Amino acid sequence: MVVSYCKIYLRANWVQSLKEKRMIIRSLIGKVKNHYNISICEVENQNLHKSIVMGFSICGNDAVLINKIVQEVVDYIEESTDAYIENIEMDTINV
């Protein structure tokens, strides 16, 4: 079994409140979950309104396919929001 996880650091400079940030995150998580069968949530910086850190994970049998899906999800997130990506951390583990 192969498990891949990714943490995406996004910056949204136009966001003025935590309420606005949470609306953006809920929308983004809903879009990603509807398009891909993955686990995704906000994992850090919940109290900083301009910083969004989201993490997601995928498991399967084929490492090449899993890594392809991870890259597709990252591209989809980048297309689905006006926030820009500051950093991406990803890793794949064979279990």
pLDDT one-digit tens code per residue, 2-32:
999 999 999 988 888 989 999 989 999 999 9
Sequential DSSP letters for 17-48: SHHHHHHHHHHHHHHHHHHS--EEEEEE-TT-
Residue 40 sits in a domain of what CATH number? 3.30.70.1120
Which of 45, 48, 66, 44 is CA-nearest to residue 57? 66
What pLDDT is attached to residue 87?
93
User: 93 pairs with which residues across the strands?
Assistant: 3
Domain of 34 in residue numbering reads as: 2-94
- Full-model pTM: 0.85
Q: Does residue 76 sit in helix, strand or coil?
A: helix
What pLDDT is attached to residue 40?
92
What pLDDT is attached to residue 49?
84
d(CA 62, CA 42): 26
The rounded mean pLDDT for the chain is 90
pLDDT band at 38 (very low <50, low <70, confident <90, very high): confident
Q: How many domains does the chain have?
A: 1
